[in-house]
Structure 1
Amino acid sequence: MSLVVSASATEAAVEPSPLATSERGSILVCTSVIADTVDGAVTEIREAAEFGANVVELRLDFLKDIDLLDPKATLKRLLGACDAYKLPAIVTFRPEWEGGQFNGPEPLRLAVLKYAAVLGAPYVDVEYLAANFFFASEGEVPLSTKVILSHHDYDETPSDEILEALVKEMFKGGADIAKIATTAQRIEDSARMLALPGKSSGPVIALAMGEKGLPSRILAPKFGGYLTFGALSDSKTSAPGQPTVTDLRKLYRLQDQSAATQVYGIVGNPVSHSRSPALHNAALAAAGMDAVYVPLLVDELRPFLDAFPSFSGFSVTIPHKLAALECADEADPVAERIGAANTLVRQPGGGLKAYNTDWSAAISAVETGLREGESAEAPLKGQRVVVVGAGGAGRALAFGALERGAAGVLVCNRTREKADALAAALGDGAEAVDYADVASGRTTGDVLLNSTSIGMHPVEGETPVSAEALGSYKLVFDAVYTPLQTRLLKEAQEQGCITVSGLDMFVGQAAEQFELFTGKPAPVELMRQATLDSMQPH
Structure 2
Amino acid sequence: MLELRTDYLENLNVDLVRNLIAEIKSAVGKPLPLVVTCRDQRQGGANSYPQQLRIDILAAAIKAGVEFIDIEFDNFIRTENQERIRVALSQSIKGRLILSAHNFSTKFEDIKKLYRSIMTLYPVAIPKLVYTANHINDCFYALDLLQQTAGERIVFCMGEAGLISRILAKKLGSFLTFASINEQKATAPGQLTIAQLKVLYRYDSISTNSELFGVIADPVGHSLSPAIHNVFFAEAVMNKLYLPLLVQGGRDKFDEFLSNVLYRGWLNFKGFSVTIPHKENALNYVKARGGFIEPLAEKIGAVNTLVIERQVTSNERKIRAYNTDYEAALDAITSALKVERTDLKDMPVAIIGAGGVARAIVAGLCDVGAKVKIYNRTVERAEKLAADFGCEFTGLDDLTNLDAKLLINCTSIGMHPDVDAIPVPVEYLKKGMTIFDTVYNPAQTKLLKQAKSKRLKTIDGVSMFINQAAAQFKLFTGQDANVKLMLKTITNFL
TM-score (norm 1): 0.84
**1:172 corresponding residue in structure 2:** 120
**How has the CA–CA distance of structure 1 residues 58 and 450 changed in structure 2, closer, same or farther, with 3 Å as cutoff?**
same
CA deviations on 1:370-392 (whole Å, 9 max, x unpaired) are 22xxx556231220111100000
For residue 182 of structure 1, report the CA deviation from its aligned partner. Answer: 0.3
CA distance in 2, matches of 1:187, 1:220: 15
**1:101-500 pair list within 5 angstroms:** 101-132=46-77, 133-137=80-84, 138-141=86-89, 142-159=92-109, 162-174=110-122, 175-299=124-248, 300-309=253-262, 310-328=268-286, 329-349=291-311, 350-371=317-338, 376=340, 378-406=342-370, 408-427=371-390, 430-438=391-399, 440=400, 442-500=401-459
2:10 to 49, 64, 67: 64
Give the distance between the partners of 2:445 and 2:239, measured in 1 at CA. Answer: 36
1:87 paired residue number: 32
Measure the CA separation in 2 of the matches of 1:377 and 1:307.
42
Structure 1 contact 369–475 (Cα < 8 Å) conserved: no
Which residue identity is paired with 2:212?
Answer: V
Aligned-partner Cα distance in 2 for 1:338–1:377: 18
Please give the per-residue CA displacement for 1:38-63, whole angstroms capped at 9, x wherever unaligned.
xxxxxxxxxxxxxxxxx110000001
d(CA) in 1 for partners of 2:97, 2:417? 43
- Residue equivalent to 1:29: none
Pairwise CA distance, 1:202: 3.1
Secondary structure of 1:139's counterpart equals helix
| RMSD over equivalenced CA pairs, Å | 1.6
Asked whether the equivalents of residues 445 and 472 of structure 1 are also in contact (C-alpha less than 8 Å), the reply is no
Letter in 2 for 1:146: R
Q: Deviations over 1:296-329 (max 9, x none)?
A: 1002211111122241110011100110101112
The one-letter code sitting in structure 2 at the alignment partner of 1:532 is: T
1:390-423 deviations in Å (ceiling 9; x for gaps): 00001011111112221x1101111111101110
Letter in 1 for 2:96: K
1:166 is aligned with what amino acid?
A: L
1:198 CA displacement: 2.5
Question: Which residue matches 2:314?
Answer: none
TM-aligned CA deviation for residue 71 of structure 1: 4.5
Identical aligned pairs, as a percentage?
Answer: 38
Letter in 2 for 1:382: D
Q: Which runs of 5+ in 1 are unaligned?
A: 1-54
Does the CA-based 8 Å contact 1:384-1:409 persist in structure 2? yes
Q: Aligned AA for 1:305?
A: L
> Deviation of residue 93 (structure 1)?
0.4
Amino acid at match of 2:111: L
How far apart in 1 are the matches of 2:232 and 2:368?
A: 30
Q: Number of residues paired by the alignment?
A: 470
Partner of 2:492: 533
**1:85: Cα distance to partner?**
4.5
Paired letter, 2:369: G
Q: Alignment partner of 1:135: what SS?
A: helix
Shift of residue 67, structure 1, vs aligned partner: 3.2
The answer on whether the counterparts of 1:325 and 1:341 sit within 8 Å (CA) in structure 2 is: yes
Alpha-carbon offset, residue 139 of structure 1: 2.9
Q: Deviations over 1:56-97 (max 9, x none)?
A: 100000011433476433443344445x25321000000212
| Letter aligned with residue 403 of structure 1 | D
The CA deviation string for residues 504-524 of structure 1, in whole angstroms up to 9 with x for no partner, is 011110000000011011111
Contact 1:316 1:344 in 2 (8 A): yes
Q: State how far apart, in whole Å, the 2-side matches of 1:85 and 1:318 are.
A: 48
Amino acid at match of 2:204: Q
Can you list the C-alpha shifts for 1:201-250, whole angstroms capped at 9, x where unaligned? 43111110011101101111111111011111111111111111112111
Unaligned runs of 5+ in 2: 263-267, 312-316
Please, what TM-score do these two structures have when normalized by structure 2? 0.92
**Structure 2 counterpart of 1:336, which letter?**
E
